[in-house]
A = this chain, B = another copy of it.
Amino acid sequence: MTHSDAPLGVFDSGLGGLTVVHALTEALPDEHIVYLGDTARVPYGTRSAETVVRYARGCAKVLTGRGVKALVIACNTVSAVALEILRAELDLPVIGVVEPGARAAAEAAEREASLRREPVKIGVLGTPGTIASGAYPRAVSQISTRLEVVGQAAPLLVPLVEEGWLEGQVPELAVRRYLEPLLARGAGVIVLGCTHYPLLAPVIRSVAAELAGRDVPIVDSALATAKDVVTFVEQGRVPRAAADSRHASRLEVLVTDRPGSFLDVATRFLGERVPDVEQIDLA
């Protein structure tokens, strides 16, 4: 069994996965977390599956090299195309964002359907890579055969968040353009299928409500994943850090591009100042 004092490893193509870390540190304050953001090659969502798998293997290697006791893939694109490969290749628990997101979406859709007394489809907003992979429909079909999933690639939302354009006309128009076809195809709940999107949740919520003429439940896959990790720890499938651990509450952040320019963005995702940033080379 991996030692309980070992860190949890979390990685993402960039810094969006810090939204998962934020939720994890609140729920598991004694855990030491090592986060890797592949900022030199972000975004993954517009790349081919082969390339994403290659990049994901590199990220996983860095974190297993640091002795993590579990690996959290805080990236929808990687979870969509590389989760099973990493699970097969690695000898430790690997948790992705798609399964927890799909489960939370299925629950929200069932609730909404019973309220509205009619079937409700799950609408997924994601990167082109995530949508093309069909990972959400596949994950939902393993939970319920009755639920339908419709997907919409939203490639402009990641750059909007990276640029910090979180409100105003440009994000509203972009979100509207992506939500319109999704709602027209019957989506009654919306899954934020990318760890960047929670920062646009207020815009997505208000545009969806305006288009649908009613509140549309929003499911945050990052939040759902953090809850899953907590369950893994509570069930002992990942050993829990001792409360007096010398690593208590410690967060290390590794990046592949020079830190500095993106610390503002990181702070936005994490909800607090990012400590201890170290640059590493993946090539």
Contact = CB atoms under 8 A, between A and B. Distances in A.
A273 interface: no
Q: Of A40, A160, A261, which is in contact with the most chain B CB atoms at under 10 Å from its CB? A: A40
Given A155-B162, A170-B174, A47 B54 contact: no
Contact of A165 (B51, B156, B165, B261): B156
A181 B158 CA distance: 24
B155 A159 contact: yes
B258 A50 contact: yes
A48 to B, nearest CB: 4
By size class, the interface of chain A is: 20 to 34
A276 B177 CA distance: 34
A155 B170 CA distance: 14
Interface in A221-239: none
A128 interface: yes
A88 interface: no
Interface string A44-73: 001111110010000000000000000000
Contacts of A256: 51
Contacts of A39: 47
B173 A257 contact: no
Contacts of A54: 283
Interface string A244-268: 0000000000001110110000000
A155 B42 CA distance: 14
A215 to B, nearest CB: 25
A155 B165 CA distance: 11
A47 B14 CA distance: 12
A91 interface: no
B46 A162 contact: yes
Contact of A47 (B160, B177, B257): B257
Q: Of A47, A49, A50, A177, which is in contact with the most chain B CB atoms at under 10 Å from its CB? A: A47
Q: Top 7 A-B pairs ranked by shortest CB distance?
A: A48-B258, A159-B159, A170-B173, A40-B51, A51-B257, A155-B163, A48-B257
